[in-house]
Amino acid sequence: MTSAQAQHRSSPYLQLIIVLMGTFMAVLDTSVVNVAIPKMEVALNTNTSDIQWVLTGYMLVTGVIVPTSGWLIDTLGPKRLFLFSIAVFTLGSALCGVAWNLPSMIFFRIIQGVGGGLLQPVAQTVIYRTFPPQRIGSIMGVFGITIMGAPAFGPLLSGYFVEYSSWRWIFFVNVPIGILALILAVPYMDELPTSSSFKLDVWGLTFSTIGFFSLLYGFNNVPDHGWGSTQVRVALAIGTIAILFFVITELRTKNPLLQLRLLTTYTYSMSLIVVSILSVALFVGIFLMPLYLQNIRGYSALRTGLFVTPGALASALVMPISGRLFDKLGARPLGLLGIGVLVISTYAFTFLTPESTGAHIQFLYIVRSVAMGIAMMPIMTAGTTAVVAKNPMFAGQAAALTNTIRNVASGLGTAIMTVYMTKRETVREAELASQYDPGSPRAMELSQASAHYLAQGMSPAEAHAHAVMQVAQNLQANAFVLGMNDTFMVSTLLAIAAWIAVMFIYPFGKSAQRRPSHSGVSAVMD
């Protein structure tokens, strides 16, 4: 037992529950707002392009604040930073619930994002510095429930409030949970050792803020403006230059804001590569499936949430099991199994049609969620454990770097996959339209539709107009599904790449078995 662990007085499991409460709310708020956007647009008297800043503002401030979390944890300590984060997040949630116009909503979402962005790294740090190495896999499996489950539960919760109550409750629901977490955290969370001698890396903070903000802003605008727009190009250029200066600064600074030297730990770097790829693959399912269900199948927001919930529950059930198996087997076997199933289930999604049955789609979605539950958390745990096993004081820095890279990877992946989906839909629509030549089977569809409307007593002109509209809608629906299938194929290829990369991770978590060292940065290098 380390000296840090010897100081624990409160139950580590109670502390786990406390930090999981905060993490679940923070992750939930990355997806819960999406369904409520149309209602918020009307209530706040704004337009579609401007209301998107309710999502963008939260995402940007989260991306900027996460790189600072390692330094804040080392300086303030996990407990004080958790109290600050949960208080700010709860206050921001309450203010969002009473927002009276768009500017106030965006400002309050930024406040909420400051707290929300810090909660996940703090929770990971508490776990790694509270529980012994032989229990980390099991505990991170429980922690994984919040990471994998919260985004899936978001649409269900939001859909319920939007349909049966008010969109404001998607924010108000955080308040009592946040207050309870605060009340419990004050007496029951332990004070952990800090490294208060670390001075703030001002240049690192400056370059990271400019760089990550610009990159995430640019990625977020690609779907609407395209890669070639001046807005996107300028943002990405500024972001790239700032990140370059940030990397140079961090490698030359004795006490950097973000400890990039952790990347010299082989297992940690490999786990980040795999987790980044899986984050993009995960996005495809979470983003595309609600669109398919609502735009093609005509599901309501609540029904869509109910549809994807079994997948979240299945993933939640698997997470603790995969965590326990990680403690015995290591990350490689679980990664190969989980990602192997992910490859197969994702490939099966490439054959969807507008007529695919709900039972078939839900089965594939559950299998895909289970596969993610098996693979994601053990791989992430293996990397951070490889760092923490050598020096527990780097738990905060490892969590900060992990979440920073995941944010950037998810932002880039979201931009690429969304643009690819849009382009493939356009290409597929053109291909389908070319099949409506006179005398072709597709042209017969138009004739049959016209005959159907004529039989209902419409005039020839009305019947033809309705037939053209019906055929156009069918064409667009088929083009959307084919474009979605093409995007799932890219996701399949990414999953294959992740499966190959997993083979290069230490098979039985041997790095986690090494005795901790406290000799500083050099201790985290392989």
Look at residue 197 in the predicted model and tell me its pLDDT: 55
pTM of the complete model: 0.82
Q: What is the distance between the alpha carbons of residues 451 and 400, in angstroms, rounded to a whole number?
A: 64
Residue 247 confidence class, pLDDT cut points 50, 70, 90: very high
**For residues 284 and 364, which has the higher predicted lDDT (pLDDT)?**
364
- Contact residues for 328 (Cβ-Cβ < 8 A; gap 6+): none
Q: Assess whether pLDDT exceeds 80 at residue 498.
A: yes
Residue 213 confidence class, pLDDT cut points 50, 70, 90: very high
Q: How far is CA 453 from CA 60, 437, 473, 497, 523, in A?
A: 51, 21, 16, 51, 76
Give 357-390 pLDDT, tens digit per residue.
Answer: 888 999 999 999 899 889 988 998 898 888 888 8
Residue 268 confidence class, pLDDT cut points 50, 70, 90: very high
Look at residue 464 in the predicted model and tell me its pLDDT: 66
Instruction: Kindly state the percentage of the chain with pLDDT values over 90.
Output: 33
Three-class HEC string of 334-362: HHHHHHHHHHHHHHHHHHCCCCCCHHHHH
Q: What is the DSSP string of 113-167?
A: HHHHHHHHHHHHHHHHHHS-GGGHHHHHHHHHHHHHHHHHHHHHHHHHHHHHS-T
Q: Assess whether pLDDT exceeds 90 at residue 161.
A: no
**For residues 151 and 389, which has the higher predicted lDDT (pLDDT)?**
389
Look at residue 507 in the predicted model and tell me its pLDDT: 59
Residue type for position 181: A
Q: What is the distance between the alpha carbons of residues 105 and 51, in angstroms, rounded to a whole number?
A: 9
Look at residue 371 in the predicted model and tell me its pLDDT: 93
Per DSSP, the three-state class of 526 is: coil
Cα-based torsion angle of the residue sequence 351, 357, 359, 364 in order, rounded to the nearest 10 degrees: 10
Q: Which residue is associated with the tokens 């293996």?
A: 382
When mean pLDDT is compared over 102-116, 128-142, 301-315, the highest value belongs to: 102-116
Tell me what the mean pLDDT of segment 231-245 comes to.
95
Per DSSP, the three-state class of 323 is: helix
Three-class HEC string of 30-63: CCCCHHHHHHHHHHCCCCHHHHCHHHHHHHHHHH
Look at residue 517 in the predicted model and tell me its pLDDT: 42
- Contact residues for 339 (Cβ-Cβ < 8 A; gap 6+): 274, 278, 371, 375, 495, 498, 499, 502
**For residues 431 and 199, which has the higher predicted lDDT (pLDDT)?**
431
Residue 12 confidence class, pLDDT cut points 50, 70, 90: confident
Q: What is the distance between the alpha carbons of residues 196 and 113, in angstroms, rounded to a whole number?
A: 25
State the average pLDDT for the chain: 84
Look at residue 198 in the predicted model and tell me its pLDDT: 63
Look at residue 56 in the predicted model and tell me its pLDDT: 84
Look at residue 513 in the predicted model and tell me its pLDDT: 43
Tell me what the mean pLDDT of segment 456-463 comes to.
72
Residue 445 confidence class, pLDDT cut points 50, 70, 90: low
Instruction: Kindly state the percentage of the chain with pLDDT values over 70.
Output: 89
Three-class HEC string of 182-227: HHHHHHHCCCCCCCCCCCCCHHHHHHHHHHHHHHHHHHHHHHHHCC
Q: How many CB atoms lie within 10 A of CB 419?
A: 15
Look at residue 446 in the predicted model and tell me its pLDDT: 66
Backbone angles phi, psi at 100, to 5 degrees: -110, -15
Residue 3 confidence class, pLDDT cut points 50, 70, 90: very low
**For residues 271 and 452, which has the higher predicted lDDT (pLDDT)?**
271
Residue type for position 268: Y
**Contact between residue 59 and residue 216 where contact means Cβ atoms under 8 Å apart:** yes
Look at residue 351 in the predicted model and tell me its pLDDT: 94
